[in-house]
Amino acid sequence: MAEHFAHVVMGSGPGILLAHGGGGSIAGNYGPILDDLATTHTVIGPDYPGSGDTPRSPEPLVLDDVADALVRTAVDAGVDRFTVLGYSLGTAVAVRIAVRYPERVTGLVLTAGFTYPDNRMRLAVQVWRDLLAAGDRTLLARYLTLLGTGATHLNGLSPADLEAGVAALAGFIPEGSPEHVGLVAGVDTRADLPKVTAPTLVVATTEDALATPEHSRQLAAGIPDAEIVEIAAGHGIATEARDEWLAAIRTLLARVG
């Protein structure tokens, strides 16, 4: 795995380190809120191996290694302390960063996350892996759209918009997705949660069929003094509830200065 990940650095001010989701990217998962965050903070957004311009890893990804690489990327960019925003798989990366580097982490925002894959998520991930192996990107995009889009947003789309969204997602699926999904399958941060000392906000996506609200509630229950806010959205919160998500993030950023 690369020592450093390709990344974006935007804005100025206190640091924010972004940890994106499996099968995602910084642009794909955080794009709609990047410019806003950069108006008040220095935002560092590294792409995992096989996403963006980061080369794909020839070997399985390890959570500690991904966490360490994100921190190296931020420090080498001149940002020694930061709030970590974790989305989906990135919540596990963020938790592991907070435990391994408590002196660097000023706060956590954990959105649409999970502590470990329960049986429902395991089945979802196995189908995801099988569809990747089969190489049918359109079928995979249909599956991820069904799983990851909240019912309110999904049913509000016209047939043409739905097909356009599926086509766009099929074209976006990163080459490193098999390694990302393998990492998702192996996540278990339950032992880490009591060790988190940074102020933490958990954002539960209430219409999420992949990382259900119960997963977020488990995160919040395990982290000392964590707060939780619930937002009516599916896994694609950046599209479905951008303004509500940004407002929630800002409440934590205001708390930690």
Is residue 214, in this structure, part of any structural domain at all? yes
The total domain count for the chain is: 1
For residue 257, what pLDDT is reported?
A: 79
Q: Is the pLDDT of residue 2 over 80?
A: no
For residue 168, what pLDDT is reported?
A: 95
Is residue 130, in this structure, part of any structural domain at all? no
Is residue 155, in this structure, part of any structural domain at all? no
The predicted model gives 155-168 an average pLDDT of 97
For residue 3, what pLDDT is reported?
A: 65
DSSP string computed for the chain = --SS--EEEE--SSEEEEE--TT--HHHHHHHHHHHHTTTSEEEEEPPTTSTTSPPPSS---HHHHHHHHHHHHHHTT--SEEEEEETHHHHHHHHHHHH-TTTEEEEEEES--SS--HHHHHHHHHHHHHHHHT-HHHHHHHHHHHHS-HHHHHTS-HHHHHHHHHHHHHH--TTHHHHHHHHHH---TTTGGG--S-EEEEEETT-SSS-HHHHHHHHHHSTT-EEEEES--S-HHHHSHHHHHHHHHHHHHHH-
For residue 104, what pLDDT is reported?
A: 98
Q: Is the pLDDT of residue 108 over 90?
A: yes
CATH number, position 13? 3.40.50.1820
- The predicted model scores a pTM of 0.97
Is residue 50, in this structure, part of any structural domain at all? yes
Is residue 80, in this structure, part of any structural domain at all? yes
Is residue 157, in this structure, part of any structural domain at all? no
Is residue 162, in this structure, part of any structural domain at all? no
Is residue 166, in this structure, part of any structural domain at all? no
24 lies in which domain range?
Answer: 7-119+175-254
